[in-house]
Amino acid sequence: MQEENTNKCEKLPLVGDTAPKFNANTTNGLINFPDDYIGHWVILFSHPMDFTPVCTTEFISFQSMIHEFDELNTEIIGLSVGAIPSHLAWFRSIHDEINFKDWKNINITFPVIADIDLQVAKLYGMIHPNTSDTKTVRAVFIIDPRGIIRTILYYPQTTGRNLKEIKRILIALQTGDAFKVSTPADWEPGLPVVEPAPQTLQDMQKRVNNHSKNLDVQSWYLTFKDLSEQKIYEKLKKKKS
């Protein structure tokens, strides 16, 4: 059985908050979250229930990218209101029966929480009453190595998640932290990033007069900087080690 959660959340968690703590049984054993994952990025995602079609495609997709996320020092954790035996039976069905995008015989290796009593789902605001009182929406929480929530995404039950976009967000967050920059609209690794805006009049004048080859000063408050995909991945993989 899932252990009683002693950390009562008075409000829904927001970006910038410390991830609410919980202990839970998973398909890989008991976890103490987020303490067991300090030092790693985490993608915590929920799905409405076991043996649902859209969720099945998402599980296969997450598993197919597990090594890509591992290279980015990122752990995947799923959550469902189903019990452990139900999760395991679903995993067996995925392995034995499902062929999605030519992925077949997939073994789900990341832990999936059994949240029968909805404690974790309620703690993280995954239950939206106007949708369902007992099924979680498709929530995604990206949590950094300090246990801080950095991104929250919600999808309706009918719409599958875009895992490439989730990975893009993860890389953008890690790039911002590693290089102290921001990423513009539609950014992909290898495209120019955005330098922080000057905070003083003196720095503003320096920025406007800067003629560095790798800087594109559009205005004092908007400056693009070249940052290669290779340099990004070298830095991110170095941080993992």
Query: Which residues carry out catalysis?
Result: 55
Inter-residue contact 80 to 87 (CB < 8 Å)? yes
* Distance in angstroms (rounded) separating the CA atoms of residues 115 and 118: 5
73 with 57: CB under 8 angstroms? no
Cα dist from 4 to 9, 31, 32, 85, whole Å: 13, 13, 12, 20
Q: Name the pairing type of β-strands 138-143 and 222-225.
A: unpaired
Our CA angle for 163, 42, 94, nearest 5°, is 50
- The number of angstroms, rounded, from the C-alpha of 60 to the middle of its chain's C-alpha atoms is 16
Map tokens 């609209």 to a residue: 185
